[in-house]
């Protein structure tokens, strides 16, 4: 009788220990998954913006891409200049695309002014990692209109694809002046007023 009572108590004690161990084992992966989720939340996401007008305006809030999308200005549209300035002000690699509604309509630069590198006037200065993807050489056309070159690339990790750049007027790269590493894909550079289409500066000379 005493042995039977002791055996019953032992089984209850062993069952409690077993259940406790199982609960502890089940909790460990849950904590690991939570830690992994926290680490993923810290990753910087790419910011993307779409150009939906051919006007060369800069009346939106360009302190970041998120702010520009939220406050695009009185016209309610996002210009290529606004998108580039906002991308310059947004840390990390960003992307700019073009709404199909403006396909075939030339984006003509009209805000005159040279010798600044903030894309506020003249050429479109790129100072942070950026990918600009047009909708094809006949669909996305950027015309500098003789006021300056088209693009001035001052940052690494810049890619410009699927568009035509034309109408640049600058002796050192009427279409593009490249100061760092850049990738050009399916890009047509034509119609320069003066100067060669592309100028690549040796980074070691800076």
Q: What is the pLDDT of residues 87-109, one digit of tens each?
A: 999 999 999 999 999 999 999 99
Q: So what's the pLDDT on residue 4?
A: 58
Angle at 131 between CA 115 and CA 169, to 5 degrees: 30
The 3-state secondary structure of 29-74 reads HHHHHHHHHHHHHCCCCCCEEEECCCCCCCCCCCCCHHHHHHCCCC
pLDDT band of 179, cuts 50, 70, 90: very high
**% the chain with pLDDT above 70:** 76
pLDDT band of 118, cuts 50, 70, 90: very high
- The CA distance from 62 to 60, in Å, is 6
Is the pLDDT higher at 49 or at 3? 49
Q: What is the pLDDT of residues 120-156, one digit of tens each?
A: 999 999 999 999 999 999 999 999 999 999 999 999 9
Q: So what's the pLDDT on residue 134?
A: 98
pLDDT above 70 for 44: no
- The CA distance from 143 to 26, in Å, is 63
Angle at 114 between CA 146 and CA 165, to 5 degrees: 40
* Element (DSSP H or E) covering residue 164: strand 158-166
Q: So what's the pLDDT on residue 40?
A: 44
pLDDT above 80 for 41: no
Contact of 46 with 80, CB cutoff 8 Å: no
pTM (global) more than 0.75: yes
Summary count for the chain: helices (H), strands (E) = 3, 11
pLDDT above 80 for 117: yes
pLDDT band of 194, cuts 50, 70, 90: confident
Give the mean pLDDT of the chain.
Answer: 85
Nearest to 92 by CA among 127, 132, 51: 127
pLDDT above 70 for 163: yes
Q: So what's the pLDDT on residue 201?
A: 83
- The CA distance from 13 to 30, in Å, is 26
User: Which single residue is written with the structure tokens 């050429």?
Assistant: 123
């Amino acid at each position: 009788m005493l042995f039977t009572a002791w055996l019953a108590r032992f089984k209850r004690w062993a069952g409690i220990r077993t259940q406790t161990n199982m609960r502890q084992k089940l909790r460990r992966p849950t904590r690991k998954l939570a830690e992994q989720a926290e680490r993923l939340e810290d990753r910087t996401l790419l910011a993307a913006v779409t150009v939906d007008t051919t006007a060369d305006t800069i009346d939106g809030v360009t302190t970041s891409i998120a702010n520009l999308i939220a406050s695009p200005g009185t016209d309610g549209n996002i210009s290529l200049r606004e998108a580039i300035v906002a991308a310059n002000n947004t840390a990390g690699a960003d992307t700019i695309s073009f709404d199909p509604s403006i396909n075939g309509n030339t984006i003509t630069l009209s805000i005159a002014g040279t010798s600044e590198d903030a894309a506020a006037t003249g050429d479109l200065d790129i100072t942070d990692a950026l990918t600009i993807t047009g909708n094809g050489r006949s669909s996305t056309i950027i015309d500098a209109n003789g006021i300056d070159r088209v693009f001035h690339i001052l940052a690494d990790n810049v890619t410009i694809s699927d568009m035509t750049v034309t109408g640049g007027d600058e002796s050192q790269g009427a279409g593009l002046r490249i100061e760092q590493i850049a990738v050009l894909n399916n890009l047509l550079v034509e119609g320069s007023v003066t100067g060669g289409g592309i100028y690549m500066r040796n980074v070691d000379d800076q």
